[in-house]
Amino acid sequence: MGQTNQARAKALAQNLVVLLTSYEEELMALEREAPIVGQLRRAVGIAIAEACYCISDDGLGMPEYMPPPADGQSRRAG
Q: Kindly report, residue by residue over 31-69, the tens digit of the pLDDT.
A: 999 999 999 999 999 998 888 888 886 544 445 555 666
Return the percentage of the chain with pLDDT > 70, whole number. Answer: 69
Give the pLDDT of residue 11.
87
Give the pLDDT of residue 63.
53
Give the pLDDT of residue 70.
63
Number of H helices and E strands in the chain, helices first, is: 2, 0
Distance CA 67, CA 23 (A): 12
Mean pLDDT of 4-30: 88
Distance CA 24, CA 76 (A): 21
DSSP H or E run through 24: helix 3-33
C-beta of residue 76 within 8 angstroms of C-beta of residue 62:
no
Mean pLDDT of 9-30: 89
Give the pLDDT of residue 39.
94
pTM, full prediction: 0.61
